[in-house]
Amino acid sequence: VDGGGTWRGKAEADDGARAMFDQYHSVRRATVALCAGLSAEDQQVQSMDDVSPTKWHLAHTTWFFETFLLKPHLAGYRPLDERYSFLFNSYYEAVGPRHPRPSRGLLTRPSLEEVHAYRDHVDAQMERLIAEPGREVLALTTLGLHHEQQHQELILMDIKHVLSCNPLSPAYAAGAPARVVDTRPAGWIEVAGGLTEIGVQGDGFAFDNEGPRHKVWLEPFRIADRLVTCAEWLAFIEDGGYRKSELWLSDGWATVVAQDWQAPLYWRVRPDGWDVFTLEGLRPVDPAEPVCHVSYYEADAYARWSGARLPSEAEWEAAAAQAPQEPLALGLHPAPAGEGAGLRQMAGAAWQWTASAYASYPGYRREAGALGEYNGKFMSGQMVLRGGACVTPPGHARGTYRNFFPPAARWAFSGVRLAHDL
């Protein structure tokens, strides 16, 4: 973890121990609050390899602070249980061997209660460490908090999948109030293109994969002013979109056939329409809502069907940089676009698949040591998503934020924004 000091946390480093103490407890408490309505049984289940049990998330985020902060930086730190390093290491080869990901649901011990004791133990020791932090400790703690926020979104993604497997369609939480609905067709925002720059700059926190800032050339394009809606997706379904191989990438079509995809994940057909399973329970598909839980393959096929294409991540970021700030409509399910003008739903509804493969920016260098594994080693076989979702913790995502998933993944809150050449 010697490279930790070069993580972008310089501004936070000047805020001092008190601010860090408050941030630390605020984020840690928010994670526990997300789980407050879940039973111990809910928090034990792993419904597919990609999904981790809630209990594992609670422990793994704690392991992160123990491994990268307390063990190297707090003199005399004593782990609560040395074996947790094996159980709750996610993917860090440099840290050592680990329990296999697909078997996380088999960890009935430690109990949920013991995992909360683990959190308390690490929190108490983190308080000691933060009381007199050096710059590296502040930078690494900031990274640990952003890591925990990523897992807050994963907790919701994963529990949604877990609950969706129950024939009773249990809700994670009660439904949200009614929202303003915009049923206008999408508008198009023209972007002149030319030589532009993308990537992070400045002193605020960012993940390493968001930089370096660099020049890109963009041909002129236009980009949709909102996300593709469920009504539009229904038209794709009714036109046989899931049955026309010519619309699909080869790997995408193979996945459609193998997994018998006929609609987005969580859509359930009934005799007179479609329901959708949400964190607020099962309900009819709202035509004005953005479509969500579609794979890159589906986004790409839909774009081809509609005569458009997906934006590249550079196009997305260039457009976002010109867009006015909009209030976020966060919640447990993506809300319809508001009635304003201009680019809407850039954040706060659903992540947006781009046409860009997840790769390093020019000049990117992976950190030395274990934390170099955080982002850099996943730069193959995945596509970039931009924006942020309704379940993304407030303040977590940025215009330069690069999310990424394999092209067949659909359990993230992933949606579609279209683009066109001009």
90 is a contact residue toward Fe ion (CB under 5 A): yes
At its nearest, how many Å lie between Fe ion and the CB of residue 415? 24
Q: Which is nearer to Fe ion, 110 or 144 (CB)?
A: 144
Which of the ranges 87-95, 270-278, 347-355, 404-412 carries the binding residues for Fe ion, by CB under 5 A? 87-95
Give the pairing of strands 214-218 and 194-198: antiparallel
Q: Which is nearer to Fe ion, 8 or 147 (CB)?
A: 147
Q: Which is nearer to Fe ion, 201 or 382 (CB)?
A: 382
| Residue type (1 letter), 156 | L
What residue number has its CB nearest to Fe ion?
Answer: 90
- Report the alpha-carbon distance of residue 354 to residue 403 in Å, rounded: 10
Which two tokens mark 140? 């690494």
Q: Which is nearer to Fe ion, 90 or 356 (CB)?
A: 90
At its nearest, how many Å lie between Fe ion and the CB of residue 144? 10
Contact yes or no for 253/140 (Cβ under 8 A): no
Give the pairing of strands 351-357 and 414-415: parallel
Which of the ranges 90-98, 110-118, 243-251, 300-308 carries the binding residues for Fe ion, by CB under 5 A? 90-98
Q: Which is nearer to Fe ion, 90 or 255 (CB)?
A: 90
152 is a contact residue toward Fe ion (CB under 5 A): no
> Can you tell me which residue has the tokens 């040591």?
369
Which of the ranges 89-97, 304-312, 323-331, 349-357 carries the binding residues for Fe ion, by CB under 5 A? 89-97
Q: Which is nearer to Fe ion, 47 or 90 (CB)?
A: 90
Burial 215-240 (b: 16+ CB within 10 A, else e): ebebeebbbbbbbbbbebbbebbeee
62 is a contact residue toward Fe ion (CB under 5 A): no
Which two tokens mark 89? 């290491």
Contact yes or no for 112/40 (Cβ under 8 A): yes
**Which residues, 6+ apart, have CB-to-CB distance to 166 below 8 Å?**
none
**Segment 226 to 265, residues that bind Fe ion, using CB under 5 A:** none
Which of the ranges 83-91, 129-137, 218-226, 396-404 carries the binding residues for Fe ion, by CB under 5 A? 83-91
Q: What are phi and psi of 127, to 5 degrees?
A: -60, -40
Which of the ranges 86-94, 168-176, 234-242, 396-404 carries the binding residues for Fe ion, by CB under 5 A? 86-94
Q: Across the strands, what pairs with 216?
A: 196
Q: What does the binding site for Fe ion look like in residue numbers (CB under 5 A)?
A: 90
